[in-house]
Amino acid sequence: MHQGRIVECVFPQKRRLGDTSEEEFEDSDDEETSFVSKTTKLTKDVLYYVTDMERFQPPRKRPKIINRTYRLVCLKSTTPEELYTRKIDHEEYGEALELAKAYGLDTDRVYQRQWKKSDVSIASIQDYLSKIKKRSWVFHECIERIPYNIDAMRELLEFGLKGTDLQALLAIEKGEDGGR
């Protein structure tokens, strides 16, 4: 796989000044000619600025031509479910939730992944665990996960107990809560 790239651009390599061996021998002459040419160019520029005569007008610069080669590396058709799974795997939860809402997908997978990746805290219980619709999965997590502090433990137990009313237990027994 090409790491998700669809189009890549290839730039041609530029030649470096030190690549040819002929330039190594005539360094001092080049410095003198470059000084003379720079002085001449500067003089012409000043004269053109002062006199506006075309004779002293600096030569037009050649436009730089940049060659770029674009290649189509990969073009893949994907379903919303595959894209949704990929977004969750890449931890792009906001985009995954938008996809789930747009295509009617189950948002529980996003919140379950966020819950699994986060430490158990009061904030994570309210942000992730409370938004999961599958009550049996939530109860399982309330039993299995162990928070690091007592406040989070108390909140997790209270949250688990709030969801153990008769209707929730009957829905779990009938398998109407979406299961684990």
Residue 51 backbone phi and psi in degrees, to 5? -100, -20
154 or 19: whose pLDDT is higher? 154
pLDDT class of 179 with cuts at 50, 70, 90:
low
pLDDT class of 8 with cuts at 50, 70, 90:
low
The residue-averaged pLDDT of 114-119 equals 94
The residue-averaged pLDDT of 27-39 equals 71
Instruction: Give the per-residue pLDDT at 102.
Output: 95
Helix (H) or strand (E) holding 8: strand 7-10
Report domain extents, the chain: 1-12+25-76, 77-106, 107-180
pLDDT class of 22 with cuts at 50, 70, 90:
very low
The residue-averaged pLDDT of 13-36 equals 56
Asked whether residue 144 carries a pLDDT value surpassing 70, the answer given is yes
Task: Please give the Cα distance from 39 to 76 (Å, whole number).
Answer: 59
Mean pLDDT taken over the chain: 80
Tokens, residue 44: 């012409």
Instruction: Give the per-residue pLDDT at 100.
Output: 95
Instruction: Give the per-residue pLDDT at 176.
Output: 66
Asked whether residue 104 carries a pLDDT value surpassing 50, the answer given is yes
Alpha helices (runs of H) in the chain, residue ranges in sequence order: 27-51, 80-89, 93-103, 108-117, 122-127, 135-144, 150-162, 166-174
Beta bridge partners of 69: 10
